[in-house]
Structure 1
Amino acid sequence: MEFHGINIIAALLAALGFMVVGFLWYGPLFGKTWMKLHGWTEDDFKGQNMAPVLVQGVINALITAIGMALVFHWTSVDSILDALHIAFVLWIAFSATTQALAFIYERQKLGLTLIHFGNQLVGFLLAAVILALF
């Protein structure tokens, strides 16, 4: 099922990949460090309705996955290596530089910036592989 040259199923799976990476990254892998760097505890999240946050996250992941799929279509990506290369360039040029602004202007702690960098980089690379396989 294609739309404007992109495989919709692949884009949905890539968005799911972003969500899974985020769940793991901000959960079992770096969740405690992320919360500590923010000065939060688990009690800060008790009783909160996380559904709106998750919906926003899904929308963000879909937009990113569809954008990547379009770039891959426009550049005629035909291998996983090409997809990884372009995904890295997209990450460094758009995601990392945008995230770096929080460190530069908001004085975000370096540890938080690095956690966010890692999440986005792994998400971009996983999405690239998923998109390249379809």
Structure 2
Amino acid sequence: MTEINVWAVLVAAVSAFLLGGLWYGPLFGKAWIRESGADPQKGHPGKVFGGAFVLSLIAAYAFAMFLGKLPLAEAAFYGFVAGLCWVATSFGINYLFAQRSLKLFLIDGGYHTLQFTLYGVVLGAWH
């Protein structure tokens, strides 16, 4: 296992957290709420956002272990592939069985594809 740059992991997690704020806020927030049936008034914001950030840290750290010290372009490519072909497709399988909409799949799968691409960019740029 290669040495992990914890600062790069932290920045990667923050970047994905900020992307999520834009993605599920002004970009696709209303459509996501409509398609998911979520009630934004439920759940304590500290628990929701704190939990999301901790999970983002875990994902970024695990991805850093997976990537090692790959160059930026290769790390970004692997991030894209991981987001699209592992995470988004896994959501797709669940969404098919749960009979969720294609629109919801595209919103969530698109976010996670960009999330892992960002992880790759940050981790590839900053070993």
1:48 CA drift (Å): 4.8
Instruction: Please state if 1:65 is matched with 2:60.
Output: yes
TM-score, normalised to structure 1, is 0.84
Which residue does 1:101 correspond to in 2?
93
Question: C-alpha root-mean-square deviation of aligned residues, in Å?
Answer: 1.8
1:118 CA drift (Å): 0.8
Aligned-partner Cα distance in 1 for 2:89–2:37: 25
Instruction: Please state if 1:124 is matched with 2:116.
Output: yes
Deviations 1:34-55 (A, max 9, x none): 1122345xxx434752111112
Which deviates more from structure 2 when the two are superposed, residues 4-13 or residues 94-103? 94-103
TM-score, normalised to structure 2, is 0.89
Deviations 1:4-50 (A, max 9, x none): 5110000010011110111110001000111122345xxx4347521
1:66 CA drift (Å): 0.5
SS at match of 1:45: coil
Structure 2 residue runs without a partner (length 5+): none
Aligned-partner Cα distance in 2 for 1:92–1:122: 8
Map 1:34-45; keep pairs closer than 5 Å.
34-39=32-37, 44-45=39-40
Aligned-partner Cα distance in 1 for 2:51–2:85: 23
Which residue does 1:54 correspond to in 2?
49
Map 1:8-19; keep pairs closer than 5 Å.
8-19=6-17
Q: State percent identity of aligned pairs.
A: 30
Structure 1 residue runs without a partner (length 5+): none
